[in-house]
Structure 1
Amino acid sequence: MADVEHTIGLLLGTEDDWPRAYEALLRRVGTITDGSGRTHRIDSVRVTIEPFNLRDKPRHDLVIDRLAYWYYHPREWLKKAALMDDVYLLNSPFTFQSMEKHAAYCAMMRLGLKVPETVLVPFKNPLDNSRWAYTSGRYNQQFDLEALAESVGYPMFMKPYDGGAWVGVSKIRNVDELHAAYDASGERLMHLQAAVEDYDVFARSLTIGPETMVMKFRPELPMYDRYAVEHDFLSPSTGDEVVTISRLVNAFFRWEFNSCESLVKGDEVHPIDYANACPDVAVTSLHYYFPWAMAALLRWTVYCVVTGRRPRLDMDTTPYFAIADDRSLSYAQKLAGYRRLADDYFEVDRYEEFCEKHLSHVDEMVHDWVSSPEFTTLLDQTVRATYPPDEHERFLAHFRGLIDAWLRDQA
């Protein structure tokens, strides 16, 4: 049997830490021989941005996209590559268009998840469009912003319907803050969303393919300290619900590299943000969890290209809505049904069997690499590129300590 060569493309913005880590680990995977005796070799390239003929054949089997949610030229290249060439994408540019949160809220409300009360309000300022005045004058309904806010309930958050990185998010405690935030929103389309007060845990879960890591998140702290290294901070049943919600969102929208934020209050899980086209995987924020993220990304991408997993561009919502609309099912039964659909989409059983047979060495390989001078150099260079010179030693000690803790825990 002839060797099969696979190329994984990295479509990147400003980040360089995790791409270097991923590239280094992929080089160490080696060849994989499948059940038919074919040998698979996998390499990676960084995708460049240039004119393209729509009939050009890309060299890539799979592309990890970290750029097209805001840069339109590569977004259109990804759409062409998916539609014409069956290139596998993490994530789908069709459902992640502009990193829009609104549809995600709607879909998960339909499925019965405990999304806080949410209202979409019109633009505060006129749009830069010659037709706006006529259309607005004829069809825009007057509304009472204060009454609308009362229907949602204070405190609440005003946040962009398509935003990311907490940009434009305001906590609203009273009428004065409501008007100030709305006046500042300008031409941004905003949601009003009820706050979940006095929650017990803010959980952020990172899902890559069929693997999920649920982390305790502290949004009030600086980014380098937001992920707490704390295990068993959720009960087993609540932790499983957070994992199920995370994978459900991804399977529903055909996203495979995404983070989900949930507020846990008592035994209830309230998902508040789960459409992140470029989830955080920086070593300077994930730190302790960074090696897991790299191992999971490596396993899933290798699995996809070696097994010839086909991209799914369609959203088959019918089986999800069939569960959602079945009034005989309890919330727990619906979650179990969604989990089965998500596990089926991600081929969990086949994936685990493949990893056990072909990638069982990955965890040890990642541990050895994180222990190596190459990783030390990467961490050192990333810290020096990220923080002011007078803080280099402080942050090097901080992150080395967290990485050393991971190494000890995995030994």
Structure 2
Amino acid sequence: MKKIGILHGMENTFPQAFIERVNSKGEKGIVAEPVSIGKVVQAEPTEYAVIIDRISQDVPFYRSYLKNAALSGTAVINNPFWWSADEKFFNNCLAEKIGVPVPKTVILPSHERPTDTFETSFRNLKFPLDWEAMFEYIGFPAYMKPHAGGGWKSVYRVEDPHDLWRKHQETGQLVMMLQEEIVFTDYFRCYCIGQKEVHIMPYEPRNPHHLRYAAQMNTEGPAGKKLLATIKDYVLRLNKALGYDFNTVEFAVRDGVPIAIDFCNPAPDADVYSVGHNNFEWIVEAAANMAIERAKKQKPGKDNLTWGTFVRSAVGTTAPTEPAGEANGAAAKPKKPGTAAPGKK
């Protein structure tokens, strides 16, 4: 028997629907259930062939549990090692390298020194920074947000340098990004499951949370079809490069060009009351099919994680993009209608 577990927190609608959908398919030797953790002993395998992770970004204990599980053969979705290393500023850097448009972005040192650091800890940092060049590159108004944050926490719209100085004082030890404001005509949020299934949803980030998916999609005619095809291509490029099997990507469309605003959402919103029934149905079905596929391919004691093309190419491997267990069981190595603010998780 191969178990598919889902590790979650306060969520109610998606986890239960996912479990019921997997079990309703009647796959021989495969069952889904909530993850149950009684003890965590180093190098001991779990009882799960696959774990869908929806909460470890907020619970360090769970992240360590998942790394140990992955080391012992569980196919953890998403890869906990890469998720631990990833952050939004790097995402933007990688997007430029693979040809996906993103807002102009710079990174700012934290307003307060990190704990246990001193003035001499920053002797390699120029004082003052070249603020004038950065402001000329980004322009105002702009958005300031944490380089590794999630959701809408500590996100600021800044009007000018003085507004930036004032709001930066509120950010404490957070490392912030300063990002170009994108004036958009259309906005989309796209689910990507298993690095192959893409669901494009019209999204209005200025609406109240429960109404953001109520936007209409203006994609009629050849131009609209071309836009959707481009968005799908960009979604797949990003997720294959990053190695995420469960993620969302947000695009603001400016002058007909989709610009990736936020694409580091490895535990994205999947609640039926926010995404709506039709979108929820797609997410549940795609996630269930992906988890079953991964369970069938999982090889006990082997590396069953997905590694993105960036990591795999960095170590010089030409292994396929499928989970490591595919490669003969060998452990694969990482070879003016609107304005866009950073997307929510």
TM-score by length of 1: 0.70
CA shift for structure 1 position 148: 2.4
Contact 1:262 1:270 (C-alpha < 8 Å) held by counterparts: yes
Structure 2, gaps ≥5 residues long = 324-345
Q: Relative contact order (alpha carbons < 8 A, sep ≥ 6): 1 or 2 greater?
A: 2
Structure 1, gaps ≥5 residues long = 32-39, 322-340, 348-411
Contact 1:200 1:265 (C-alpha < 8 Å) held by counterparts: yes
Mean Cα displacement is larger for which, 116-125 or 168-177? 168-177
In the superposition, relative to structure 1, how do residues 55 and 125 fare at CA in structure 2: closer, same or farther (>3 Å)? closer
Residue 260 of structure 2 corresponds to 271
AA in 1 matched with 2:167: A
Percent identity between the aligned chains? 25
Give aligned pairs, total.
310
Secondary structure, counterpart of 1:306 in structure 2: helix
Secondary structure, counterpart of 1:204 in structure 2: strand
Secondary structure, counterpart of 1:207 in structure 2: strand
Note the alpha carbon deviations across 1:129-159, whole angstroms, 9 max, x for none. 1x322212x3331125455223311121111
Q: Is 1:73 the equivalent of 2:61?
A: yes
CA shift for structure 1 position 98: 6.8
Secondary structure, counterpart of 2:4 in structure 1: strand
Residue 337 of structure 2 corresponds to none
Residue 228 of structure 2 corresponds to 239
Q: Is 1:9 the equivalent of 2:5?
A: yes
Distance 1:229 1:221 in 2: 9
Note the alpha carbon deviations across 1:171-190, whole angstroms, 9 max, x for none. 12223321222111111000
Find 1:221's aligned residue among 184, 197, 207: 207
Note the alpha carbon deviations across 1:91-150, whole angstroms, 9 max, x for none. 011121176212211111111221111101111112211x322212x3331125455223
Contact 2:243 2:309 (C-alpha < 8 Å) held by counterparts: no
Residue 281 of structure 2 corresponds to 291
Contact 1:146 1:175 (C-alpha < 8 Å) held by counterparts: no
Contact 2:309 2:321 (C-alpha < 8 Å) held by counterparts: no
Residue 250 of structure 1 corresponds to 239
Contact 1:254 1:312 (C-alpha < 8 Å) held by counterparts: no
Residue 357 of structure 1 corresponds to none
AA in 2 matched with 1:193: Q
Find 2:139's aligned residue among 139, 153, 157: 153
Residue 110 of structure 2 corresponds to 123
In the superposition, relative to structure 1, how do residues 48 and 179 fare at CA in structure 2: closer, same or farther (>3 Å)? same
Note the alpha carbon deviations across 1:236-256, whole angstroms, 9 max, x for none. 111111112212222112111
Distance 2:254 2:125 in 1: 38
Residue 300 of structure 1 corresponds to 290
Secondary structure, counterpart of 1:94 in structure 2: helix
Residue 32 of structure 2 corresponds to 44
AA in 2 matched with 1:82: A
Q: Which has the larger radius of gyration?
A: 1
TM-score by length of 2: 0.83
- Backbone CA RMSD of aligned residues: 2.4
Secondary structure, counterpart of 1:317 in structure 2: helix
In the superposition, relative to structure 1, how do residues 21 and 247 fare at CA in structure 2: closer, same or farther (>3 Å)? same
Distance 1:232 1:319 in 2: 38
Residue 345 of structure 1 corresponds to 321
Distance 1:28 1:292 in 2: 16
Find 2:193's aligned residue among 208, 215, 219: 208
Secondary structure, counterpart of 1:244 in structure 2: helix
CA shift for structure 1 position 291: 0.9
CA shift for structure 1 position 48: 3.2
